[in-house]
Amino acid sequence: MRTGLVLIELMFVVVLTGLLALFAAPRLLAVMDAAAVRDEAMRVVAALDATRGASIRLGTVATLALSDTSYRVTTVAGGDTVTAWRQPGPRQRGVALSGGGQPVGFGPAGLAMGVSNRTIIVTKGRAVRKIVVSRLGRISY
């Protein structure tokens, strides 16, 4: 008697592995989307923190422009607008950003400029994260 695998046994293992992969793939993609959204939300929060910190440190108005291609912090120093910080946007990572619109500004005291709270939404697939900047400059996510 010979030992080894019979073709039917090998086919059974391949079919079983394929079925397991079929059920696991959507869940794996959802986990990867959630991780990408969480990472991008942290990038947006870091950009907001950098903007608020620059406004307090320099004692001037600092603004954060959010777009699909870049995040950019600008300050006004001596009548000139200076780019203090720049980072690539979410497009290269396949994440969508909404609510960017007008730049988010912080005054010299670190308070957000504008009439009301600002909500920035980061999405990829079914994963969604909301970032809210209050009028007092508090960032919650």
Predicted model pTM: 0.79
Query: Is 1 among the domain residues?
Result: no
Render pLDDT for 18-59 as a digit per residue (tens, 0 to 9): 988 888 888 888 999 999 999 999 999 999 999 999 899 888
pLDDT at 77 over 80: no
| First-to-last C-alpha distance (Å) of the chain | 66
Query: Is 65 among the domain residues?
Result: yes
Query: Is 2 among the domain residues?
Result: no
Query: Is 84 among the domain residues?
Result: yes
CATH of the domain at 107: 3.55.40.10
Q: Map residue 118 onto helix, strand or coil.
A: strand
The total domain count for the chain is 1
Q: Greatest CA separation found in the chain?
A: 91
How many Cα atoms are found within 13 Å in the side-chain-facing hemisphere of 86? 5
| Residues of the domain holding 19 | 7-140
d(CA 6, CA 129) in angstroms, rounded, equals: 51
For residue 58, what is the enclosing H or E element? Answer: helix 7-58
Side chain identity at 102, as an amino acid letter?
Q
